[in-house]
Amino acid sequence: MSEPWIDIAGNPASGLLLIADHASNHVPPDVALGVPEALLGEHVAIDIGVDPLGRALCAALGAPGILGGVSRLVADLNREEDRPTLIPLSSDGHAIPGNAALDEAARSQRIERFWRPYHARIAALIAANRPRMLISLHSFTPRLREDPGQSRPWQIGVLYNEDDRAARIAISFLEAAGIVTGDNLPYSGKHLNATMNAHGEANGIAYLGLEVRQDLIETAEGVARWAGILAPIIRTTASGF
């Protein structure tokens, strides 16, 4: 892989652009994280189910997409450039010793290699064909490793910061469909919204931030089911812009 993203072909005339920051657990061979290989299959390294769901939604909507092409342990693409957690030293109780060993120059080089080109690519896609609405796609764990007793009942979370235009529309449709929906839960877009802040709110573009519970999209059947549920809701939400 030569670029830190994966483009998904689609028709810009759809008025939509899907963005999935944490779709990959790829670690380039020359990046030494110092973590067990098994950890790369867990949520600390990747948003489980987001790659196939993002592709299925792009296909159903006829929309282009951009998927993050490196693990969030290499560079968290959904963080501001000056955030210390852009290159995490630990995640959900797991130390990342290779990241802790980076000096300031090596840290800057990693940001230059992965984070900046990814966000430049998003900016270029938006400049070339300004969408009516962005779709931000993530997934969340049913419970945190650090607090396994805390269950998360929501099937879908809808995240937003200052611009809640699309969120308000989509939440009403999701709830009407009987979907247990988190309003800025299990995470709040007031605190974790870097990509949509930069490319949605800063440009005045409406966006729909979706978090899907991972156990619902762990299988091909689950992905197909939720793509079928979400695609018409996304389409209807976007029609308002």
Tokens 């299990």 sit on residue: 186
Helix (H) or strand (E) holding 67: strand 65-68
Quick: pLDDT tens for 71-86: 999 999 999 999 999 9
pTM, two decimals, is 0.96
Q: Which residues contact 174 (CB under 8 A, 6 or more apart)?
A: 156, 158, 181, 233
Sign of CA dihedral 64, 25, 77, 104: negative
> According to the model, what pLDDT value does residue 148 have?
58
Quick: pLDDT tens for 129-146: 999 999 999 999 987 665
Q: Rounded to 5 degrees, what are φ and ψ at 189?
A: -70, -10
